[in-house]
Amino acid sequence: MNFLVTGGAGFIGSHVCEALLREGHGVWAFDSLHPFYPTAAKERNLAEIRAAGGNFNFVLGDLAEPTALRNLFANVRFDQVIHLAALAGVRPSLMEPESFQQINVEGTVNLLEAARHRGVRKVTIASTSSVYGVNEKVPFAESDPTLRIISPYAASKLACEALGHAYHHVYGMDIVCLRFFTVYGPRQRPDLAVHKFAKLIAAGKPIPVFGDGSTARDYTYVSDTVQGVLACTRKEFGYDIFNLGESETVTLSRLIELLEQSLGKKAIIERLPLQAGDVPITYADISKARKHLGYNPGVKIEDGIRKFVEWFKRQSAA
């Protein structure tokens, strides 16, 4: 099959592209190489995808510019779309809420329209655990209310989920939304906690810790997330939503301890107040994904951090 992967040069996207190529599919990565983080990192990702071999094609384009999408769909017959491109992150969205709406929401409309007009029925859309907001019930289930969102990023992703439902209901498209839970691993964005902390600890610089370290996240190793994404491509769902997490929580203090152990160096902690938009905990109920996707995450945080640090050291030495 021919797959379009938006955001294919990014962290999760590059791993998805490689997995699809290993299965023998044709893959087109559509990415703007947005300077949200260094373009050089995305170019390294693309080089690794190309090195994997297979029918891989990179298309430079912006979701906010519908002409680029229309031209691509006019030239290639896609069987499925995996929509991972977005501006991501709670804290950055507090600074640029307009950009997050333009790229994430309007860009998703442009993509769905291009797919609809070319008869592409199946689209998998990346969402986020942030849509649960301040959810007092844990673990978070897909049926939980999503009315207490506390960041523009989460609001933009919930809008994408709603758009997916509308396009399924009105146009009969098969759409699945996947709520990712704090994905980490090789190629992780340098602004995210695991990568950012590793770099600062290795350099002997202070790491910013917001709060007392008791906030907890459901860290998910990237290969487990990719497993869930690919499972969605193998059958039809009509419209559905699935959590993709490890279903285990790790406090910020414990994460720092694991990084210290793998790096062989103590962290210098800079204590800062909790930030607006941050939630106290994320914790995925993955029973639905287990049942319908055969999703079975297998990388525990101890192994995942070790694998990440091995990659980080290789990158630092290159």
The string of DSSP letters for the chain reads -EEEEETTTSHHHHHHHHHHHHTT-EEEEEE---TTS-HHHHHHHHHHHHHT-SSEEEEE--TT-HHHHHHHHHHS--SEEEE------HHHHHH-HHHHIIIIIIHHHHHHHHHHHTT--EEEEEEEGGGG-S--SSSB-TTS------SHHHHHHHHHHHHHHHHHHHH--EEEEEEE--EESTT--TTSHHHHHHHHHHTT-EEEEESSS--EE--EEHHHHHHHHHHHTTS--SEEEEEES-S--EEHHHHHHHHHHHHTSPPEEEEEPPPTT--SB--B--HHHHHHH-------HHHHHHHHHHHHHHHHH-
Q: What angle in degrees, to the nearest 10, is found between the helix axes of 252-263 and 301-317?
A: 50
Summarize the confidence of residues 158-162 as an average pLDDT.
97
Summarize the confidence of residues 175-200 as an average pLDDT.
95
Residue (of 23, 42, 24, 47) closest to 32 by Cα position: 42
Can you name the residues that pair with 184 across neighbouring β-strands?
221
Dihedrals φ, ψ of 164, to 5°?
-60, -40
The whole-chain average pLDDT of the chain stands at 94
Q: What is the pTM for the complete model shown?
A: 0.95
Among this protein's residues, is 167 annotated catalytic? no
Whether 151 has a pLDDT exceeding 70, the answer reads yes
Architecture category of domain 2-317 in CATH: 3-Layer(aba) Sandwich (3.40)
% the chain with pLDDT above 70: 99
Nearest-angstrom CA–CA distance, 306 and 73: 41
- Give pLDDT, residue 235: 93
- Give pLDDT, residue 265: 95
Spatial contact of 154 and 130, defined as CB atoms under 8 Å apart: yes
Summarize the confidence of residues 47-56 as an average pLDDT.
94
Sign of CA dihedral 299, 185, 146, 278: positive
Nearest-angstrom CA–CA distance, 94 and 123: 28
Dihedrals φ, ψ of 220, to 5°?
-125, 120
Q: What is the pLDDT of residues 62-87, one digit of tens each?
A: 999 899 999 999 999 999 999 999 98
Nearest-angstrom CA–CA distance, 6 and 32: 9
- Give pLDDT, residue 173: 98
Q: What is the pLDDT of residues 254-286, one digit of tens each?
A: 999 999 999 999 999 998 887 766 778 899 999
- Give pLDDT, residue 150: 87
Sign of CA dihedral 20, 15, 299, 87: negative
Residues whose CB is less than 8 angstroms from the CB of residue 99 and which lie 6 or more positions away in sequence, other chains included: 87
Q: What is the pLDDT of residues 188-205, one digit of tens each?
A: 999 889 999 999 999 999
- Catalytic residue (choose from 132, 153, 167, 219): 153
Residue 160 pLDDT class (50, 70, 90 cuts): very high
Residue (of 282, 239, 276, 274) closest to 144 by Cα position: 282
Residues 100-113, buried b or exposed e (16+ Cβ, 10 A)?
A: bbebbbebbbbbbb
Dig out the tokens for 276 from the structure.
């607006």
Dig out the tokens for 112 from the structure.
């769905």
